[in-house]
A = this chain, B = another copy of it.
Amino acid sequence: MTDTTPSRQIAESLRSEIANGQLPPGGRLPTVRELAERFGVSRNTVTKAMTILKTEGLITARTGSGAYVREPHPIRRLGPGRYARQRWQVTTVTAHADDRPSSEAIEQQGGQTQEVTLIEADQVVAEALGIEVGAPVYERARVMTRDGLPTHTMTSYYRRDDVEGSAITDPRPGIAGQGGGFAVLASRGLDPHEITEDIAARMPTTEEALLLELPAGEPVVEVRRTTRTVDGQPIEYARGIHAASRFVWSFTYPIPD
């Protein structure tokens, strides 16, 4: 039934100790040397067992300190409500650029970094926005953090003419941040009306793992979002990478005919 190499057996043994609470979340595992002696194997074999558990997301190890049972993350539930009008709709657009442009295009602020650049649309972006490949688009790349830890990235693309000169093209975070992109589009007569979200999961690339400080064995969820006006005209395409363990997506809808 179970193909049973020593390293797998040790992993299974520790796994069940974690499952039954004998090793509680945050608790420290016995040292590699202790386990090697306990199971009568070499240190390498125990290390391998721990590698298995790490890639399963059950433990993390800190060199010089020990290996610990991973604590469950607080989970955020993401639904359509996060895009609700009342969250971004304002009578007058209060966001505005001031006169001291920062030399750096990246700044840090409570929970969000931002980088805005004018680029040429690639295949995917062009198709999503209904423009030609190579057409100019503004890319607005953000990294969201929570409790000092990065939780997800969100990179939006806008047609240049739609947002040129607006607060969106101001690189400082907070100006167009926090849904403010929708307010800017609305102020230009491009009211966001409909959203399509595509959701898929996969293992992270090495860059993503570094950027989001992902432990081994943590998948990412990639969200691709297209926002359209009431006429069906796409006004924003966005791509987000989320640390999987911190989010749940929730949708409620009537059964279609």
A: which residues have CB within 8 A of B? 2, 12, 15, 51, 55-57, 75, 77, 80-81, 83-86, 192-203, 206, 216-221, 227, 244-245, 247-257
A199 and B248 contact, CB distance less than 8 A: yes
* 16 A-B contacts (beta carbon < 8 Å): A2-B206, A51-B51, A80-B255, A192-B255, A194-B252, A194-B255, A196-B251, A197-B250, A197-B251, A197-B252, A199-B250, A201-B220, A201-B221, A219-B244, A249-B249, A253-B253
A251 contact set on B, CB distance < 8 A: 196-197, 199, 251, 253
A200 and B253 contact, CB distance less than 8 A: no
In the complex, besides A55-B217, A227-B255, 10 extra interface pairs with C-beta distance below 8 angstroms are A12-B206, A75-B200, A80-B256, A84-B255, A84-B257, A198-B249, A198-B250, A200-B248, A203-B218, A251-B251
A249 contact set on B, CB distance < 8 A: 198-200, 249
B256 and A84 contact, CB distance less than 8 A: yes
Given contacts A55-B55, A201-B219, A81 and B250 within 8 Å (CB-CB) = no
Complex partner residue of A257 from B86, B202, B247, B248, CB under 8 angstroms: B86
Least distance between A111 CB and chain B CB atoms (Å): 22
Interface of A (DSSP majority class): mixed
Cα A250 to Cα B246 with chains together (Å): 20
B255 and A202 contact, CB distance less than 8 A: no
| Residue ID in chain B nearest A256 by CB atoms | B84
A256 and B85 contact, CB distance less than 8 A: yes
A203 contact set on B, CB distance < 8 A: 55-57, 217-219
Cα A56 to Cα B193 with chains together (Å): 38
Cα A254 to Cα B250 with chains together (Å): 15
Least distance between A242 CB and chain B CB atoms (Å): 9
Q: Sorted from nearest, which 5 A-B pairs have the closest CB atoms?
A: A201-B201, A219-B219, A201-B244, A196-B252, A199-B249
Cα A227 to Cα B253 with chains together (Å): 10
Cα A2 to Cα B205 with chains together (Å): 13
A202 and B57 contact, CB distance less than 8 A: yes
Given contacts A244-B202, A249-B198, A193 and B57 within 8 Å (CB-CB) = no
